[in-house]
A and B are shown apart, each in its own frame.
Chain A
Amino acid sequence: MNCEQCKNLMDGYLDRELDPITNQKIEQHLRDCRNCDQAYKAHGSLVRAIRDGAPYYKAPAKLRERIQSSLRQEIAKKPVRNVEDSPSLFSARPRWTRTVSFGTPWSGLAFAAAIVFAAIITFNLMSRLQRPGNDQFLATQLIASHARSLMANHLTDVASSDQHTVKPWLDTKLDFAPPVVDLSSEGFPLIGGRLDYLDNRPVAALVYERRKHFINLFVWPASSDAATAPKTITRQGYQLLHWADSDFNYWAVSDVNANDLQTFKQQFETRTPHH
């Protein structure tokens, strides 16, 4: 290490910010070079003079209070601003509108058009969402029932593959007599039946099996004009298939694939007596 290098690294050395190897090299040089050693000592006492001599400006107590109260004002202001923002934003906007759209007639027209536009969209959305909204809510209930039946070791209240056991049991518990058929020969053996509560009423749940997968078929009386087109919903990996005849609502819920569920529906319909 030469004097120039030593001089350049002096501050880092004094501040103990150098790596050990460089430190050693500097120490070696300082032992060898009187000039640099003197400069180092002078620099060291200057550093100490700054450290000890420069006044440290502590914050006055009143500054702390000022800051604390300004922070409290800030959070007190925030929600108020949210509420009052809308009118102030609103009153600020027309100015902007005027400058951009060159005169009021334009902005008035656009305004009216926008209202009509918004109304059309809202109307469309509302009418489209109205019915599926009910179905979606029901679908959530159905999936929950299905999942719970598999989870809580409560798949069936009456475990039997004999439709003549399941049906009478359900008939005594419900105020309606759901159709019960065994579909073993079609690949959907009947496992049993269960009571459940859906759509604000007690319902029958018929449990079928398809290659280790279970199908819950929920059945309850249809309201008068409920004969609707079959409907499928896929959600969270579950298939839901809905159909209705003149007497009953049917909702089949399972994790089998959609085709299997369609087959199930067809088999079930062909085997149930027509009304």
Chain B
Amino acid sequence: MALQLKEEHACESADSDPKIVKFAIVKKRQEDHSLEVGLASFEDAILPHLDAAHNLARWLLRNEQDAQDVVQEAYLRAFKSFAGFHGGNGRAWLLTIVRNTSYTLLKKNRAVDLTTTFDEEIHGSGDEVVSPVTILERSDNAELIKEAMDHLPAEFREILALRHQEGLSYKEIAEIAQIPPGTVMSRLARARTKLREYLAARMGKEK
């Protein structure tokens, strides 16, 4: 109550007292200026990682429109918390925000996506070893890999993109995916195994 009154009072006096109004304008100008300076340094530090941000969001959401919305939202969030970013690894910092924003959307829109979407029907006998030559010889290799990755759960899609496309270290991946560093290797191993199993089943079916 008292707080409300104070604010109201402050508001009134700010309206009526020309000195305070003037002060407010000066202050606003200073804020504008510092905001512009802040925006410039934010863009210098964080905008170069736009491709990485988009790539991660695109793999997580598997949809271009969602990916763009998430990246835009992530940049806004990043800008608002830029004061808390004290230099260092701008890409990892941004990707953490992109990841969290992506998961928020995934959880909201498609709860099913977070569970394993790995297709058990197509998933053949697990120990089957696909000859690397078989994969690499195919002309639609890229298409197959994409299809296989898209069939993996989100946590596998994300870790494969971070490792193979961004070339991030285990330490950086642990930071972004918010898992213990010791978990990174085993998760990567599981992701690769699942991918191989998918490819094997897919190629086995075609035969």
By a beta-carbon cutoff of 8 Å, the part of chain A in contact with chain B is 8-12, 15, 17, 39, 41-60, 63-64, 66-68, 70-72, 74-75, 78-79, 82-83, 86-87, 89-90, 93, 97, 110-111, 114-115, 117-118
Chain A residues near B31 (CB-CB < 8 A): 78-79, 82
Q: Is B101 an interface residue (CB 8 A)?
A: no
Say whether, besides A53-B141, A54-B145, A115 and B5 are in contact (CB < 8 Å). yes
Q: List 9 A-B contacts (CB under 8 A).
A: A39-B129, A42-B129, A54-B165, A59-B55, A64-B47, A67-B47, A71-B43, A72-B39, A79-B35
Chain B residues near A53 (CB-CB < 8 A): 141-142, 144-146
Query: B50 and A50: CB pair below 8 A?
Result: no
How far does the Cβ of A259 sit from chain B's closest Cβ, in whole Å? Answer: 44
A138 CA / B164 CA spacing, docked (Å)? 71
Given contacts A10-B189, A71-B79, A90-B11, 13 further A-B contacts (CB under 8 A): A41-B132, A42-B130, A44-B132, A45-B135, A50-B145, A50-B164, A50-B192, A56-B55, A63-B72, A71-B39, A71-B42, A86-B10, A114-B1
How far does the Cβ of B1 sit from chain A's closest Cβ, in whole Å? Answer: 6
Interface string of B140-169 (1 = CB under 8 A from A): 011011100100000000001101110001
Q: Which residue of the partner chain, among A11, A42, A63, A70, contacts B188 with CB atoms under 8 Å?
A: A11
A75 CA / B136 CA spacing, docked (Å)? 50
Nearest opposing residue in chain B for A68, CB measure: B43
Chain B residues near A70 (CB-CB < 8 A): 72, 75-76
The main secondary structure of chain A at its interface with chain B is: helix
Chain A residues near B132 (CB-CB < 8 A): 41-42, 44-46, 49
Query: A57 and B59: CB pair below 8 A?
Result: yes
A97 CA / B2 CA spacing, docked (Å)? 11
How far does the Cβ of B177 sit from chain A's closest Cβ, in whole Å? Answer: 15
A42 CA / B9 CA spacing, docked (Å)? 74
In order of increasing CB-CB distance, the 9 nearest A-B pairs are A45-B132, A53-B145, A59-B54, A57-B58, A11-B189, A75-B35, A86-B11, A51-B164, A53-B142
Interface residues of B in 2-50 (CB under 8 A from A): 2, 4-11, 14, 24, 28, 31-32, 35-36, 38-39, 42-43, 47, 50
A69 CA / B14 CA spacing, docked (Å)? 32
Q: Is B71 an interface residue (CB 8 A)?
A: yes
Chain B residues near A118 (CB-CB < 8 A): 2, 5-6, 9
A67 CA / B79 CA spacing, docked (Å)? 11
Q: Which residue of the partner chain, among A51, A55, A97, A115, contacts B146 with CB atoms under 8 Å?
A: A55
Nearest opposing residue in chain A for B58, CB measure: A57
A49 CA / B148 CA spacing, docked (Å)? 12
Q: Is B179 an interface residue (CB 8 A)?
A: no
Q: Is B114 an interface residue (CB 8 A)?
A: no
Nearest opposing residue in chain A for B24, CB measure: A83
Say whether, besides A12-B185, A97-B4, A114-B5, A67 and B72 are in contact (CB < 8 Å). yes
How far does the Cβ of A94 sit from chain B's closest Cβ, in whole Å? Answer: 8
Interface string of B60-75 (1 = CB under 8 A from A): 0000000110011001
A217 CA / B123 CA spacing, docked (Å)? 96
Chain B residues near A44 (CB-CB < 8 A): 132
A9 CA / B185 CA spacing, docked (Å)? 8
How far does the Cβ of B20 sit from chain A's closest Cβ, in whole Å? Answer: 12
Q: Is B176 an interface residue (CB 8 A)?
A: no
Query: A86 and B164: CB pair below 8 A?
Result: no
Nearest opposing residue in chain A for B150, CB measure: A54
A93 CA / B1 CA spacing, docked (Å)? 10
How far does the Cβ of A80 sit from chain B's closest Cβ, in whole Å? Answer: 9
Query: B142 and A55: CB pair below 8 A?
Result: yes
Say whether, besides A83-B24, A89-B7, A114-B2, A59 and B51 are in contact (CB < 8 Å). yes
A51 CA / B188 CA spacing, docked (Å)? 13
Q: Is B201 an interface residue (CB 8 A)?
A: no
Chain A residues near B72 (CB-CB < 8 A): 63, 66-67, 70
Chain B residues near A51 (CB-CB < 8 A): 164-165
A9 CA / B43 CA spacing, docked (Å)? 40
Chain A residues near B189 (CB-CB < 8 A): 8, 10-11
How far does the Cβ of B11 sit from chain A's closest Cβ, in whole Å? Answer: 4
Say whether, besides A53-B144, A70-B72, A75-B35, A64 and B50 are in contact (CB < 8 Å). yes
